[in-house]
Amino acid sequence: MTPPDWLESLMHEVCRACVSEVRGRMSGFSFRWAEPDGNPLGTWLLQIAPAVVEVAGGREDGATGYDGVDADLLALPGCLDAVESFAYDPGLGGEEPHLTLDGTLGGRQVTVEVYFEPFEGDDPQTIFDVNLGGWREKEPDRDE
């Protein structure tokens, strides 16, 4: 299911706030979302995490990894119209550490969670191909 346009726009703003202007970023982000009636928070939920990448060719063929998240703590609250809370959650009870931003956007209650590690079970969608010297999307028939 595709997210609504306004939520996709928010996703891009949050991702932009999680990329260092100095260091940049080689890989992308994964996201998950849910409508208010589809999660226990009762708000629009947007979750962002670093995407898993795979190396093809060379000594590290088949290795996976991800870029760290460089969250700009001053820019993230600017992604919403009004912020009710902004906190770091250390991930107690088996949950992964993340930032949580609660507030409103366009009159909607929104919760944004930014994780520092990939979502559990995420498979690589992007490959750095050492032989080609560049990035490409993973093609299931060709790469599996």
**Residue of 99, 57, 107 whose CA lies nearest to 81:** 107
Is the model's pLDDT at 139 over the cut of 80? no
Burial label, 73 (beta-carbon count in 10 A; 0-12, 13-18, 19+): exposed
pLDDT of 142 reads 53
List pLDDT tens digits, range 104-113.
Answer: 999 999 999 9
Which pTM was predicted? 0.86
Q: CB neighbours (10 Å) of residue 27?
A: 18
**Which pairing describes strands 82-89 and 64-65: parallel, antiparallel, or unpaired?**
unpaired
Summarised one tens digit per residue, pLDDT across range 2-30 is: 999 999 999 999 999 999 888 777 778 99
d(CA 11, CA 5): 10
The 3-state DSSP class for residue 13 equals helix
Q: pLDDT band for 129, please (50, 70, 90 cuts).
A: confident
